Structure 1
């Protein structure tokens, strides 16, 4: 578990980070006992740290008794260079795509073996969306994730291919199939998905380059891609090139 600390005599800082690390995309709200177990800390220690973090606004506690990440963490996260620089520079281009398509638009980067969503502009309510700005999703089941995975170091690709998880009946979980898809992404310059993360949602994404380096992925989520794929790819490429020029200064 991400937040687990089992070393005797661990510092206060490491214990605080163990508590914060207990939260993830699938564990957004935790009871005290769940928080204690996932952090690998004694219940009394967890209770004391959680109470202090609630007082500081780092955690919040619902009426149900569950703890969630507080607004202060989100506010601090927005100050990170990867958030402020890329997100702000890309914003006009994301809004241009959104205005032209009225579809959900994503800007994302890779963090380890997951997609980190820097921005999400929500489109049609008829398309199911599970992403959120600041949230993380698997690389292998999202359009932006496949772009980032295709251009990730070999070690990252190997780690992802060795632990593919089925999310819907259409999620690609055969390593040889995903490897072939990633090769096409590198060759064609874009990635697509269909019902792989959420049923009823398809996506298309392209890389954002700073020079020769892929620094992010830009994507759109729509009900289906059969008619508009090339038009959406063309629009995304124009926007990605614009972001790349701005990043290059």
Structure 2
């Protein structure tokens, strides 16, 4: 659930241009940016030039692409950076144990924001990427976070639109509610081809003081070889160890 920028301000229009870029874009033409944003051509041309001057965009292939200046700014985000610095050894240990794709994610609104992703040469094709978003209800990380969220958030997600992303996506609120209850009982959440066909995943919440959900860790792999139940203990242990470390370091205080 991404916030919409205010198109009545210059800043809002500039943010709209930046958000128009997609993960698989190589270069986006001026005409395509106009189409995606709905802004006037002259406005897009002028603001894109200013974004280039400020190293937030760069010219490429007759169009524009996101620049390294955005990456530099993103790495200054204190919450995500601090979390990632503490979490990385636990994620690396989990990868060495499983040799499957490992994720670290946070909740923002009704979505998971992926902070880190570690995968080897044989990693499964997954729809996630660092900085990318996925709905809470159809991902293992999302379910792990949602199960430990406050009642108002759970109610909002369960009563909101539940898009069927694959034939296996759970869109029945009652069934999803039972899954969340199971997460609180077992400490792990599962996804079985709900965000992408051929992908299964197990996740555990990283809990802070008073069991507040700070983040979640997952391991994902292809249905052809990965059995998520076999890695539930390892994922749960990694999440618990990270949570204990964050509590000791007074994370978020």
- TM norm structure 1: 0.86
Contact map agreement 1:202 1:225 (CA 8 A) in 2: no
Residue 114 of structure 2 is matched in structure 1 by 117
Displacement, 1:121? 0.2
1:100 is matched with which residue: 88, 97, 104?
97
Distance 1:158 1:60, change over 3 A: farther
Contact map agreement 1:25 1:136 (CA 8 A) in 2: no
Q: In 1, Cα distance between the equivalents of 2:146 and 2:247?
A: 23
Q: In 2, Cα distance between the equivalents of 1:28 and 1:189?
A: 41
SS in 1 for 2:149: coil
Residue 145 of structure 2 is matched in structure 1 by 148
Contact map agreement 1:87 1:118 (CA 8 A) in 2: yes
- TM norm structure 2: 0.85
Distance 1:91 1:6, change over 3 A: closer
Distance 1:175 1:236, change over 3 A: same
Displacement, 1:237? 1.7
Contact map agreement 2:7 2:13 (CA 8 A) in 1: no
Q: List gaps (5 residues or longer) in structure 2.
A: 249-253
Residue 79 of structure 2 is matched in structure 1 by 82
Q: In 2, Cα distance between the equivalents of 1:153 and 1:34?
A: 41
Correspondences of 1:1-249 after superposition (within 5 Å)? 2-3=3-4, 5-7=6-8, 10=9, 12-23=10-21, 30-63=28-61, 65=63, 67-123=64-120, 125=122, 127-161=124-158, 162-211=160-209, 212-224=211-223, 228-249=227-248
Q: List gaps (5 residues or longer) in structure 1.
A: none
Contact map agreement 2:106 2:114 (CA 8 A) in 1: yes
